[in-house]
Amino acid sequence: MDTPKGTNPLLDFSGLPRFADFRPEHVTPAIDQLLAECRAAVARAESPDTPAEWDAFVVPLEDANEKLGRAWGQVSHLHSVMDSPELREAYNANLPKITVYYAELGQNEALYAKYKALAASPAFAALSPARRKIVENELRDFRLGGAELPADKKARFMQVQEELAQLSAKFEENLLDATNDYALVIDEKDELAGIPDDVLEAARAAAEAAGTTGWKFTLHMPSYLPVMQYADSRELRQILYRAYVTRASEFGKPEHDNTPLIARILRLRREAAELLGFRSYAELSLEAKMAESPREVLDFLDALAARARPYAERDYAEMQAFARDTLGLDTLEAWDNAYVSEKLRVARYSFSDQEVKQYFPEPRVLGGLFRLIETLYGLRVREDQAPVWHPDVKFYTLTDQAGKPIGQFYLDLYARASKRGGAWMDDVITRRRKGDSIQTPVAYLNCNFSAPVGGTPEGGKKPALFTHDEVITLFHEMGHGLHHLLTQVEELGVSGINGVEWDAVELPSQFMENFCWEWDVLKHMTAHVDTGAPLPRELFDKMLAAKNFQAGLQTLRQIEFASFDMHLHHDFDPNGPRTAQDLIEEIRRKVAVIIPPAWNRFPNNFSHIFAGGYAAGYYSYKWAEVLSADAYALFEDEAEGYGGVLNPEVGHRFWSEILAQGGARPALESFKAFRGREPTIDALLRHNGMA
C-alpha cells in the first residue's frame, strides 16, 4: 500500500521518531522512496559535472544517507524490541534492498575516484581534522567494500554481503523464537525451594497470564538466572540449564537450528575476505580496529589467560571443596556452578545477591546514575515526553546548566517476549551541524531486567528491583549513551560513536562500571524497598570484599569466547571437516578450567559474533577494559587530593579528550591526550584482584 509522504512517520525527519503512528505497512513505501532519493543523490555526486569538493558531493550524499539510516534505524530497533510477525516480514523484505544499496555504494568506482581526487586536492589540507578523517575512512571503506575489484568479483562480493545480512537476521530470529518457544510450568511448590519470593511472584503472574496454574519459568534472563542461582532442586536446575544451552541447536525444532547458518556464515565471510585479498576474515575485520593483526590479539589474550589461570584454578578448587564438604555434592555439574557460587559467596561474605537487590529500587538507581552524570559533567537529566514503542519506556533530556539541550535518550529496561536478549545502546539521531544550528543527538538504551511485580501494603505498586550486576549493566549502557550524546564533533561521519575503532568502543561503557563500586555513588542510589533505609556501609564493605569473587573464572570465560571468535575467523578452515562446535571444544581444553557438557551448544546462541557486529572483535571487551581501567585509575589517583573520585575537573577532561572527540581522531591519541601516556595493563589486573 502506498502511503503519502505526509502520513508516513518514517519519512518525517522534523524531530523524534513517531512511534505512536508507526505501522509495519509503512516500511516498504518509505524505504523504497528513500532508496530512490539516495540513488538520485549518488547519481548527482558521481556526475562529471559535480566537482570533487566537500560541499558539492560529500554533504548531499550525507544528507540522503542520513535519512535512510534514521528510517531504517527505527525499523531495526522495533524489530529488536517489539518483534511481531508483520514487522518481521516487513524487515526481512526490505533488508536485502538496504544491504544491496550499501554494498553498491561501497563498490562505486566513480565515488571512490571523487574521494581520491578530494584527498589529492589542495583543498584537502584546508579541511578540518574531522573532515579529513572522514575522507581517509571513506577511502579505506571503499577498498574494503570492493571498489577496486573487477566486475565479476564485484557482483559476487555483493551477493555475499546480501546473503550474510539475511543469515545474521535469521540467526537472531531463530534464537529469539527458540527462547520464546520454551516454558516450564511447575505445579508443586516444594520443587521451588530456595527461589526468592519476587521471582516466584513473577513466575506465578506469568502462569496466570498464560491461563494456567502453578509457576511458569522461561529462558529469558530474569526468569532463568535466579533458578540457576537459588533453586535447591538439582533436577530443576538441570532441566532449565539443558534447555538454555541447547537453544537454536539440533536438539530443538529443526527450523530454529542455527548450526547450518553458522557454517554458511563462516564460509561466506572467508570468501568475502579472500575476494578482497585477505587471508582471513579476521585480517579484514582488523583493518578498521586498533589491533594490528590477529596474532597481536591472540598474544594479548594468551598473556591475559596466563595471568588469570592460577586465580581461576583456585576459584574452581574452592567451589569443588565447598560443594563437597558443605553441600554434599561430590561432583560439580554445569547446572550446579551458579548455585554453588552463590552459596559459597553467602558463606564467605555473609550476603546474597537477593539481599542486595532489595536496596536497588529502580527510581533510586536512576536518580543515582543521573546524579553521577550531573556531578562529573555539570549536566542536568530530566524526564521528558516523547512517543514510545511500549508503555514501560521512559524518555529523558540532558541539558547544560543553562537549560540548553545536549541530548536525549529512551530507556527500555525490562525483558519481554518480543525483545531480543542482552543489553545494548543504539543511535536514533546523531549530532551534526545543519546550517546555523546543531542537531541534538538521541540514543536508545535497552536492557532486559525484571519488570515490577506485586504491590505495597498501602495499595501502591512496587518498583522494579535490580541486582548489583544489573546496576552495572545499566551504567555500562549509559556509558555508550554518553559517548554518543556528549560528542562535540559536528561532522556526521565521526560524530559520537561513528568512526570509533570497534575495539575502543567499549572504553566509555566499561569506564562507567567502575562507579558502581564507589561508596560516594552507591550511598545516594540505594533505599530498601520496604523500609527506605540506605544500603548499610557494612553490607557495601562485604560487596567490595566480594568484588573479585571468582574474577579468575570470569576472565577466563571471556578469553575463551574471544579466542574462539578470533580463531574461528582467522585460522579455522570453514570449508574443512571440523565444525565451530569442534573448535570451541578444542579452545576450552586449552583455556577453560570449567568444561561444560558435550551437548552444550554455545556457538548456536553466540549472537554477538553471528548477528551483532562483533565478528573477529569479541576481544574488544578485554582490549577496551585495559583502556577503561587505566583511564579510571586517573580518577583514583586524583581522589586523595580532591576528597573522592567524583572529581568534575577530571570528569571534564575525560569528556573533552575522550567522549567529545567521537571518531574524529584515533582512539589511542584520545587516550594519550587524557592520560598523558600509553595505556598499561596494571590497572586492569589490580581492579580484577590479579595484580
- Could you give the residue numbers annotated as active site? 477
Q: Is 50 left (phi over 0), alpha (psi -120 to 50) or beta?
A: beta
DSSP state of 394: E
Distance CA 511, CA 687 (A): 12
In contact, 419 and 218? CB cutoff 8 Å: no
Distance CA 507, CA 38 (A): 34
Q: What are phi and psi of 4, to 5 degrees?
A: -60, 150
Instruction: Residue 80: name the closest of 389, 526, 288, 344 by CA.
Output: 389
Run of H or E residues at 13? none
Burial of residue 188 (CB within 10 Å: 0-12, 13-18, 19+) is exposed
3-state secondary structure of 165: helix
Q: 426 pairs with which residues across the strands?
A: 444
Burial of residue 539 (CB within 10 Å: 0-12, 13-18, 19+) is middle
DSSP-assigned letters across all residues of 610-641? HHSS-TTTTTHHHHHHHHHHHHHHHHHHHHHH
Distance CA 609, CA 340 (A): 30
Run of H or E residues at 561? helix 551-570
Question: CA of 482: how far to CAs of 261, 535, 674, in Å?
Answer: 35, 27, 17
Cell of 680: 598499561
Cβ-Cβ contacts under 8 Å for 437 (sequence gap 6 or more):
none
Instruction: Residue 377: name the closest of 493, 275, 508, 285 by CA.
Output: 508
In contact, 360 and 471? CB cutoff 8 Å: yes
Residue found by looking up cell 554458511 in the block: 264
Q: In what order do the strands lie in the sheet with 394-399?
A: 380-383, 394-399, 405-414, 442-449, 424-429
CA 19, chain centre distance (Å): 23
CA 632, chain centre distance (Å): 21
Neighbours of 515 (CB within 10 A): 24
Instruction: Residue 86: name the closest of 30, 26, 35, 29 by CA.
Output: 26
Residue 137 corresponds to which amino acid? Answer: N
Distance CA 683, CA 691 (A): 8
Instruction: Give first-to-last CA distance, the chain, whole Å.
Output: 63
Question: CA of 509: how far to CAs of 474, 526, 572, 641, in Å?
Answer: 10, 22, 31, 26
Distance CA 230, CA 227 (A): 5
Burial of residue 197 (CB within 10 Å: 0-12, 13-18, 19+) is exposed
CA 505, chain centre distance (Å): 10
Distance CA 511, CA 654 (A): 10
Beta-strand (E) ranges in 323-423?
380-383, 394-399, 405-414
In contact, 41 and 13? CB cutoff 8 Å: no
Distance CA 45, CA 453 (A): 56
